[in-house]
Each structure stands twice: as structure tokens, then as C-alpha cells.
Amino acid sequence: MISNNFRKLILLISLIGFTTSMMSQRLVTSIDSTSIFIGEEITYKLEIHSDTLAQIKFPESESFVPMEVLKTYDSDTIVSNEKYIVSKKYGLTNFDAASYILPKQKVVFGDTTLFSDSKKIEVKLVEVDTSKQGLYDIKPIFITNKEYDLFRYIPYLILLLIIVFLYIYRNKIFKSKKFQYEKSPYQKAKDEINLISKSGYTAAEGAKEYYSKLSFIIRNFLEIKVFDHSLESTTDELLYELKRIKSSGKLKLTSSTLNNLHQVLQTADLVKFAKYYPDEDIAKKDTEKIKITVDEINNILPEPTIEELKKDYEFHQKLLKQERSKRIKKAIIGFMGLLISTVLIASVLFGFTYVKDSILR
């Protein structure tokens, strides 16, 4: 009897923890219309309501098939009643008349995956009543012998516009960027730790956000350098994997390093799920532990080989060449757009035949 009661108690605690975790993040969807005409834009909105901030991955354009994405808006964050509301909007449409089912959308919030409800959307044809269209007589031909002396200055105007365009955008087109390495994962982690240390800590109000950031910093560092499932693993799973790596001899992790990491992640779990608010002194000590842990792990990581460094340099050089090629293409497209616009404006003012005979021939 005692054994059964004990099992029930453990099950009840697990259910409460799971329910609290699920309720701390909520996905809300909205759409401004479920019935549109062909080519008409509708706005589809995803909102995440949460007590804390974490890394969010919204769906890509491909996940909205059979609908087409006209525009993807930037995400927006609002703080209301000590809750965070992170939203993202998409402009959708379709060019074939039919009934469509917009599939469930997947949103990843930290280590939690949320799904939206599917939506039914009707795309209708645009009704045109041709019997009510008015009929008009053909306009007579208007003949003029007027000469446009001003037109001979159009080529000089086009040349002037080209020179002005090249002068304004000369830096973007011709200036080459200096090669710069990105910060290493170790340096990024150190900078982020220093940043949250300077931001200050308040036990009652900022504990969740503080420890969520602290946990994300160390997990993200481990994700890149040690174990590629660190962000999605639980504390126990992560510690088990690190102990396995230690036993295999891949990394010489010390017991002190693992103990410090376990203590901080355990405290972060208590803050997140059990509403535990550590004192400021404890938060400072935990921050120092994470800083020491990052240093210790970085010191035992193998040094990159010369070949790896060479590949990294060549990869960055390739990116710089691609970026310059894109700038040149944009400049050519801009120039062609300017030239075509000038010809079109001249055609409207003086007639296309005159333009063709005077310029394009």
C-alpha cells in the first residue's frame, strides 16, 4: 500500500510539473479573413504568450503550402502584465479558386514545440458582369507636326542620371569590405555572461528571465562545442551525456565542472517550474560558476588544425566575394530600372514611336 501511494505521489508531482511547463507558453493564431478573392492578401498572425523569453523559431514560407506567402513581416515583442507576447505576421494569398486547408504551423519556443490549429480558406473568382460594361466610339487619330526640340537633351539627361547614381552608391558598389572573423562561441558566451552580470538581478521579478538566459548561454555553448542536443535536452539528460563523454575519454571533464553545471541548471529548473527565487548572492555565485565552467571546458577542447583554420578563412573570403557580386548585380538592376523608367517617361511625354526613331534606332 505504501509503495502504491508513493508511486501515485510521484506521478502527481510529474503531472503538475508538466502542466505548469505547458501553461507557461501559449500559442495564439488569428487570421483577418477566411474567404478571399483570387490574389487578395490576408494576414495570418502567430502569437506566443509566455512568462519568459527564449529562442523562438517561427515557420518558414514552405510550411504554408498550398497558400503562397506574399510577405513575411518582422517579429514583434510586447510586454503586458509581466508577460511577453512575441508575434509574427505573414501575408498569404492564392491564385486558384478553391477551398484550401492551411496546415498546422510549428513554432519552437526554447526546448518546447507548439502547434497552431489548421484553417480552412475559401478562394473565390472575381465576378465581372460584361453586359453592364459601357461601349465607346473609337477616338479619331490626332495628327501633329510639332517638333520636340527638348528631346535631343534626353540622352544627356540619361547620362547625367547614370553618373549621379554611380556617385551616390559608389561605396556600396566598389568598396571592398575588410575580412573579419566572427566571434568564437567561447567569446560570445563570455560576453553574454558579462552582459547579464551588469544587468542586475532582482529575486522576485527577474529570477525567471535571469536564470533562463544563464541556462541558455551554457547550453548554447555546449550545443556548438560539445554535444549537439544540449538545448533540447533536460538537465538530467545533458549531465548523463557529459558523463558519457568524460568516460569515453573524448574530453577530460572534471567532477568539479560537472557538479557546478548540475547545481546551476538544477536551480534554473526550480526557478522555472517551482517558482523558486534565489537570493542575489546565490545568483552571483551561480553566474561565477557558469563563467568558470565555460573557461574550464574551453581549455580542454582540442585546438583547431591548420587545415580547419584555412578552410574557415577560404569560406569567409568566398562569402565576401558573393556579397560583392550581389552588390554589383543590384547596381546593374538599378541602372537598368533607371534607364527603362527614363524611356517610359519619355514615351509617355513624346510618344513611343518618336522615342524609338530618335533614341533606340
pLDDT > 70? residue 216: yes
**Residue in the block written with cell 538566459:** 213
246 beta partners:
none
What pLDDT is attached to residue 93?
92
Return the CATH class of domain 185-300: mainly alpha
pLDDT above 70: percentage of residues in the chain? 75
Average pLDDT over residues 118-126: 89
User: Residue 340, Cα to own-chain centre: how many angstroms?
Assistant: 35
Q: Which long-range contacts (CB under 8 A, 24 or more apart) does 241-246 make?
A: none
At 273, the amino acid letter reads F
What pLDDT is attached to residue 355?
64
What pLDDT is attached to residue 92?
92
Q: What is the mean pLDDT of the chain?
A: 79
pLDDT > 50? residue 260: yes
What pLDDT is attached to residue 313?
65
What is d(CA 60, CA 72) in angstroms, rounded to the nearest whole number?
A: 9
pLDDT > 90? residue 353: no
pLDDT > 90? residue 197: no
**Which residue has better confidence, 135 or 23?**
135
Global pTM value: 0.39
Nearest to 102 by CA among 120, 123, 124, 122: 120
Nearest to 22 by CA among 139, 91, 132, 114: 114
Can you say whether the dihedral through the CA atoms of 22, 23, 24, 27 is positive or negative? positive
pLDDT > 70? residue 28: yes
Per the CB < 8 A criterion, the answer to whether 73 and 39 are in contact is no
Strands of the sheet with 35-37, listed across from one edge: 35-37, 119-124, 98-102
What pLDDT is attached to residue 321?
79
What is d(CA 108, CA 58) in angstroms, rounded to the nearest whole number?
A: 7
Per the CB < 8 A criterion, the answer to whether 20 and 41 are in contact is no
What pLDDT is attached to residue 200?
77
What is d(CA 79, CA 68) in angstroms, rounded to the nearest whole number?
A: 31
The CB density around residue 149, as the number of other CB atoms within 10 Å, is 7
Return the CATH class of domain 21-124: mainly beta
Average pLDDT over residues 315-332: 76
The CB density around residue 174, as the number of other CB atoms within 10 Å, is 12
pLDDT above 90: percentage of residues in the chain? 16
pLDDT > 80? residue 156: no
The domain limits of the chain are 21-124, 146-175+308-360, 185-300
Residues 30-63 pLDDT 10s: 899 899 999 899 999 998 888 888 888 899 888 8
Name residues whose C-beta falls within 8 Å of residue 331's C-beta, 6 or more positions apart in sequence: 166, 169, 172, 173
- Count of alpha carbons within 13 Å of 171, Cβ hemisphere only? 1
Which pLDDT band holds residue 135 (cuts at 50, 70, 90)?
low
What is d(CA 48, CA 342) in angstroms, rounded to the nearest whole number?
A: 48
What pLDDT is attached to residue 22?
46
Nearest to 208 by CA among 272, 133, 130: 272
Establish whether domains 21-124 and 185-300 are of one fold. Answer: no
pLDDT > 50? residue 19: no
At 349, the amino acid letter reads L
Can you say whether the dihedral through the CA atoms of 33, 34, 36, 39 is positive or negative? positive
What is d(CA 52, CA 266) in angstroms, rounded to the nearest whole number?
A: 17
- Count of alpha carbons within 13 Å of 155, Cβ hemisphere only? 7
The two beta strands, 35-37 and 119-124, are parallel
Per the CB < 8 A criterion, the answer to whether 201 and 284 are in contact is yes
Name residues whose C-beta falls within 8 Å of residue 50's C-beta, 6 or more positions apart in sequence: 24, 25, 26, 83, 84, 86, 109
